[in-house]
Amino acid sequence: MKILNQVCLCTAALLFAATTAHAVVVAPPTPGPEQSPAVSPFACSEGFTLDKTTAGLHLHGQLAMPTPGYRYTFNQDDEQPTTGAVTGSLELDEPEGNALQVISPLDIDINMQTEGDVQLLSIGIDKEFDWGPDKITCQKNAATQGNAQ
Protein backbone atom coordinates (compact mmCIF):
# COMPACT_ATOMS: atom_id res chain seq x y z
CA MET A 1 0.00 0.00 0.00
CA LYS A 2 2.88 2.33 0.82
CA ILE A 3 4.42 1.73 -2.63
CA LEU A 4 1.06 2.35 -4.30
CA ASN A 5 0.71 5.70 -2.48
CA GLN A 6 4.23 6.72 -3.59
CA VAL A 7 3.42 5.77 -7.21
CA CYS A 8 0.20 7.77 -7.03
CA LEU A 9 2.01 10.76 -5.54
CA CYS A 10 4.73 10.59 -8.24
CA THR A 11 2.12 10.30 -10.99
CA ALA A 12 0.16 13.20 -9.56
CA ALA A 13 3.33 15.33 -9.38
CA LEU A 14 4.21 14.50 -12.99
CA LEU A 15 0.70 15.29 -14.18
CA PHE A 16 0.75 18.59 -12.28
CA ALA A 17 4.13 19.51 -13.76
CA ALA A 18 3.03 18.55 -17.27
CA THR A 19 -0.21 20.53 -17.11
CA THR A 20 1.38 23.62 -15.59
CA ALA A 21 4.19 23.60 -18.15
CA HIS A 22 1.63 23.98 -20.93
CA ALA A 23 -0.40 26.52 -19.02
CA VAL A 24 2.32 29.18 -18.95
CA VAL A 25 0.93 32.38 -20.36
CA VAL A 26 3.37 34.68 -22.07
CA ALA A 27 2.32 38.30 -22.11
CA PRO A 28 2.71 40.07 -25.44
CA PRO A 29 5.56 42.58 -25.56
CA THR A 30 4.67 46.01 -24.35
CA PRO A 31 4.54 48.33 -27.32
CA GLY A 32 7.04 51.16 -27.20
CA PRO A 33 6.22 54.75 -27.95
CA GLU A 34 5.01 55.16 -31.49
CA GLN A 35 7.38 57.07 -33.70
CA SER A 36 5.94 58.99 -36.56
CA PRO A 37 8.04 58.90 -39.70
CA ALA A 38 9.83 62.13 -40.56
CA VAL A 39 7.94 64.11 -43.14
CA SER A 40 10.17 65.22 -45.99
CA PRO A 41 9.68 68.81 -47.08
CA PHE A 42 9.72 67.59 -50.72
CA ALA A 43 7.66 65.14 -52.77
CA CYS A 44 9.89 63.43 -55.36
CA SER A 45 9.76 61.04 -58.28
CA GLU A 46 9.27 57.43 -57.21
CA GLY A 47 12.31 56.00 -55.42
CA PHE A 48 13.88 59.38 -54.55
CA THR A 49 14.07 61.60 -51.48
CA LEU A 50 15.27 65.18 -51.21
CA ASP A 51 16.27 66.69 -47.89
CA LYS A 52 17.41 70.15 -46.86
CA THR A 53 20.94 70.25 -45.37
CA THR A 54 23.02 73.07 -43.94
CA ALA A 55 24.85 73.40 -47.28
CA GLY A 56 21.85 72.97 -49.56
CA LEU A 57 20.07 69.82 -50.71
CA HIS A 58 20.73 66.08 -50.59
CA LEU A 59 19.10 63.86 -53.25
CA HIS A 60 19.11 60.09 -52.76
CA GLY A 61 17.50 57.25 -54.67
CA GLN A 62 17.97 54.51 -57.26
CA LEU A 63 17.58 54.15 -60.98
CA ALA A 64 17.27 50.83 -62.83
CA MET A 65 20.05 50.24 -65.38
CA PRO A 66 20.10 47.63 -68.18
CA THR A 67 23.44 46.22 -66.95
CA PRO A 68 25.61 46.48 -63.84
CA GLY A 69 28.55 48.88 -63.84
CA TYR A 70 26.87 52.14 -64.85
CA ARG A 71 28.27 55.37 -63.41
CA TYR A 72 26.85 58.87 -63.41
CA THR A 73 28.02 62.47 -63.54
CA PHE A 74 25.86 65.23 -62.12
CA ASN A 75 25.97 68.77 -63.53
CA GLN A 76 24.11 71.46 -61.62
CA ASP A 77 22.81 74.46 -63.55
CA ASP A 78 22.66 77.95 -62.09
CA GLU A 79 19.99 78.32 -59.44
CA GLN A 80 16.99 80.46 -60.38
CA PRO A 81 16.21 82.36 -57.16
CA THR A 82 13.20 84.20 -58.58
CA THR A 83 11.33 80.96 -59.25
CA GLY A 84 12.97 78.82 -56.54
CA ALA A 85 13.93 76.23 -59.17
CA VAL A 86 17.14 74.21 -59.23
CA THR A 87 17.92 72.31 -62.41
CA GLY A 88 20.65 69.99 -63.57
CA SER A 89 21.49 66.95 -65.62
CA LEU A 90 22.54 63.43 -64.79
CA GLU A 91 24.77 61.81 -67.43
CA LEU A 92 24.72 58.01 -67.30
CA ASP A 93 27.95 56.37 -68.46
CA GLU A 94 27.56 52.77 -69.60
CA PRO A 95 30.20 50.20 -68.64
CA GLU A 96 32.97 49.39 -71.11
CA GLY A 97 33.29 45.96 -72.68
CA ASN A 98 30.86 43.09 -72.46
CA ALA A 99 28.38 43.23 -69.64
CA LEU A 100 25.75 40.86 -68.32
CA GLN A 101 22.29 41.96 -69.53
CA VAL A 102 20.44 42.11 -66.22
CA ILE A 103 18.53 45.06 -64.77
CA SER A 104 20.64 46.45 -61.94
CA PRO A 105 20.14 49.31 -59.47
CA LEU A 106 22.34 52.40 -59.62
CA ASP A 107 22.46 54.33 -56.34
CA ILE A 108 22.16 58.07 -56.83
CA ASP A 109 23.56 60.20 -53.99
CA ILE A 110 23.98 63.90 -54.77
CA ASN A 111 24.72 66.89 -52.53
CA MET A 112 23.90 70.27 -54.06
CA GLN A 113 24.84 73.69 -52.77
CA THR A 114 21.85 75.99 -52.91
CA GLU A 115 20.83 79.37 -51.58
CA GLY A 116 17.36 80.65 -50.96
CA ASP A 117 14.08 78.80 -50.70
CA VAL A 118 14.06 75.95 -53.21
CA GLN A 119 10.58 75.12 -54.50
CA LEU A 120 11.40 72.73 -57.34
CA LEU A 121 14.27 70.44 -58.34
CA SER A 122 14.35 69.11 -61.89
CA ILE A 123 17.17 66.86 -63.13
CA GLY A 124 17.16 65.59 -66.71
CA ILE A 125 18.61 62.09 -67.26
CA ASP A 126 20.93 61.72 -70.26
CA LYS A 127 20.98 58.02 -71.19
CA GLU A 128 21.55 55.75 -74.19
CA PHE A 129 18.62 53.37 -73.58
CA ASP A 130 14.97 54.25 -74.21
CA TRP A 131 13.16 53.07 -71.07
CA GLY A 132 12.91 54.32 -67.50
CA PRO A 133 12.42 57.91 -66.36
CA ASP A 134 13.82 60.84 -68.35
CA LYS A 135 13.72 63.19 -65.39
CA ILE A 136 13.87 63.29 -61.59
CA THR A 137 11.63 65.93 -60.05
CA CYS A 138 11.06 67.03 -56.48
CA GLN A 139 8.58 69.71 -55.48
CA LYS A 140 8.15 71.36 -52.12
CA ASN A 141 5.17 69.92 -50.22
CA ALA A 142 2.20 72.22 -49.73
CA ALA A 143 2.39 71.69 -45.93
CA THR A 144 5.91 73.17 -45.88
CA GLN A 145 5.32 75.74 -48.63
CA GLY A 146 5.06 78.65 -46.22
CA ASN A 147 8.07 77.65 -44.13
CA ALA A 148 11.43 78.84 -45.40
CA GLN A 149 13.70 75.84 -45.06
Write out the chain's pLDDT in tens, 149 residues: 454 444 444 444 444 444 444 433 444 445 544 544 556 789 999 999 999 998 899 999 999 999 999 999 999 998 887 889 999 999 999 999 887 889 999 999 999 998 888 999 999 999 999 999 999 999 998 765 554 44
Question: CA-to-CA distance for 69 and 14, rounded, in angstroms?
Answer: 66
- Can you point out the beta strands (E) in the chain? 42-44, 48-52, 56-65, 71-76, 85-93, 104-113, 120-126, 135-140
CB count in 10 Å sphere of residue 69: 14
Q: 3-class SS at 21?
A: helix
Q: What is the pTM of this model?
A: 0.68
Which pLDDT score is estimated for 13? 45
Q: Is 139 left (phi over 0), alpha (psi -120 to 50) or beta?
A: beta
pLDDT score at 102: 93
Query: Shortest CA distance to 88 belongs to which of 128, 29, 138, 132?
Result: 138
DSSP codes, 72-104: EEEEEPPPBTTTTEEEEEEEEEPPSS------E
Please give the pLDDT value at position 37.
52
pLDDT at 39: 65
